Structure formats: C-alpha cells, structure tokens
Amino acid sequence: MKTQNSEHEQNQKDPVCGMDVSHAAVSEEFKYRDKTYYFCSGACRETFEKEPEKYIH
C-alpha cells in the first residue's frame, strides 16, 4: 500500500498567486534550480520566469 503521494499526485501551490492547483488542473510548469514549479496560468508562469527569486521562499 502506497502511503506517500508523489509531488505530481499532490496539490501544488502556484508560487505567484498562491492558488492551490490540483495535478489535473496544472496549466503551466517551469523548472528552476532543479525544482519544478506549477502554475494556474501562463501569466503566473511568465511572471515567475521574470523574477523567480522574488517568489521562492
């Protein structure tokens, strides 16, 4: 029995707007410093790409 979900099976938080995005609803993704970030829209992904350090906590 699997007890832990992989990153792709869990809800993801859009680092720009803070929206919880289910795996099925992920619209965009972007890899930065060996980590994949997930976004609710292309606009949030583009905002992140311009200043990623601003959104990484």
CATH at 29: 2.30.170
**Taking CA 6 as the corner, what is the angle to CA 3 and CA 8, rounded to the nearest 5 degrees?**
140
Question: What's the total number of domains in the chain?
Answer: 1
Chain position carrying tokens 């869990």: 10
pLDDT, mean of residues 23-48: 92
- Compute how many other C-beta atoms are within 10 angstroms of the C-beta atom of residue 45: 19
pLDDT, mean of residues 29-39: 94
Question: Does residue 38 sit within a domain?
Answer: yes
Give me the pLDDT at residue 45, please: 96
Ramachandran category for residue 34: left, alpha or beta (phi over 0 → left; psi -120 to 50 → alpha): left
Question: Does residue 19 sit within a domain?
Answer: yes
- Is the per-residue pLDDT at 6 higher than 60? no
Question: Does residue 2 sit within a domain?
Answer: no
- Is the per-residue pLDDT at 4 higher than 70? no
Structural contact between residues 27 and 14, judged by C-beta atoms closer than 8 angstroms? no
Give me the pLDDT at residue 27, please: 82
Q: Domain of 44?
A: 12-55
Question: Does residue 47 sit within a domain?
Answer: yes
Question: Does residue 6 sit within a domain?
Answer: no
Query: Who wins on pLDDT, 25 or 9?
Result: 25
Chain position carrying tokens 């990623």: 52
Question: Does residue 1 sit within a domain?
Answer: no
> pLDDT grade, residue 49 (50/70/90)?
very high
